[in-house]
């Protein structure tokens, strides 16, 4: 990443491009468990965007924006267990997302649900998870569903609560839909493994917990 940034600075790189490189490196640091370094990089990326550049971004970077960067920052704050900051950042992202960013909205709602679950607020976590499912019913996005499924695993200590049981009902409905699609796929692509049943989604947290899932703020 250091070499990539060095080469970019030698050319007519836009502020968005340089900030994106910071964000990519920050994602690598987050995946390696270095949340502090990742937050430093996202802060630098914010400074780069604020300063600007005389050079225009390439056409393929039309998806990257300060809001996308903030979405990633919020997820990194979540991984770092800076829950109040993560909540504030993600709520700001949710408010600022343009109307056409339906896919990203499902991811942000999932991250907000994860914040509330980590803060021992199962009712709020389920509320955000249900909002994500409502959006997924309109605009399907696998990363958004991954976020909801991971939140459900972190809600294992409260699995007897009515809000969690209601979330299970919603997820089981989605499981039947996805399994039907998976069966259709496996008929033409036998190498594709079918989706697990909904019961497995409530089986408890995975090793590594929520930190095993990372944002899509850098693309998609």
Backbone conformation region of residue 81, classed left if phi is above 0, alpha if psi is from -120 to 50, else beta: left
Inter-axis angle of helices 142-154 and 122-138, to 10 degrees?
A: 160
Q: What is the pLDDT of residues 11-20, one digit of tens each?
A: 788 889 889 8
What would the two tokens of residue 143 be?
A: 């990363």
Q: Which of 159, 157, 142 is nearest to 195 (CA)?
A: 142
- Element counts in the chain: helices (H) and strands (E): 9, 0
Q: What is the pLDDT of residues 1-49, one digit of tens each?
A: 777 776 567 678 888 988 989 988 998 898 898 989 999 999 999 999 9
For the chain, the C-alpha Rg in angstroms (whole number) is 19
**Statement: residue 98 has pLDDT above 70:** yes
pLDDT given for residue 31 in this prediction? 84
Measured CA to CA, the distance from residue 155 to residue 127 in angstroms comes to: 12
Q: What is the pLDDT of residues 42-73, one digit of tens each?
A: 999 999 999 998 888 888 888 889 999 999 89
Measured CA to CA, the distance from residue 114 to residue 123 in angstroms comes to: 12
Residue found by looking up tokens 């899509």 in the block: 216
**Statement: residue 193 has pLDDT above 90:** no
Q: What is the pLDDT of residues 162-183, one digit of tens each?
A: 999 999 999 988 765 665 555 5
pTM over 0.85: no
pLDDT given for residue 2 in this prediction? 74
pLDDT given for residue 161 in this prediction? 97
**Lowest-confidence segment of 17-21, 85-89, 185-189 by average pLDDT:** 185-189
pLDDT given for residue 60 in this prediction? 81
45 vs 23, 72, 79, 156, CA distance in Å?
A: 7, 11, 19, 36
Comparison of pLDDT for 41 and 212, the residue scoring more? 41
Comparison of pLDDT for 120 and 14, the residue scoring more? 120
């Amino acid at each position: 990443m250091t070499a990539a940034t060095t080469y970019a600075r030698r050319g007519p790189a836009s502020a968005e491009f340089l900030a994106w490189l910071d964000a990519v490196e920050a994602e690598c640091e987050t995946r390696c468990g270095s949340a502090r370094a990742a937050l430093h990089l996202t802060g630098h990326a914010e400074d780069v965007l604020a300063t600007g550049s005389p050079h225009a971004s390439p056409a393929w970077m039309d998806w990257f924006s300060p809001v996308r960067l903030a979405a990633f920052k919020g997820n990194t704050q979540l991984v770092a267990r800076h829950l109040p900051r993560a909540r504030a950042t993600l709520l700001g992202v949710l408010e600022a997302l343009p109307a056409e960013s339906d896919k990203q909205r499902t991811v942000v709602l999932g991250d907000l649900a994860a914040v509330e679950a980590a803060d021992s607020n199962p009712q709020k976590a389920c509320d955000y998870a249900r909002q994500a499912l409502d959006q997924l019913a309109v605009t399907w996005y696998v990363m958004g569903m991954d976020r909801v499924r991971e939140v459900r695993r972190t809600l294992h200590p409260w699995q007897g609560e009515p809000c969690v049981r209601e979330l299970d009902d919603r997820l089981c409905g989605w499981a039947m839909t996805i399994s039907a699609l998976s069966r259709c796929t496996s008929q033409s692509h036998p190498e594709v493994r079918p989706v697990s049943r909904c019961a497995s989604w409530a089986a408890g947290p995975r090793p590594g917990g929520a930190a095993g899932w990372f944002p899509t703020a850098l693309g998609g």
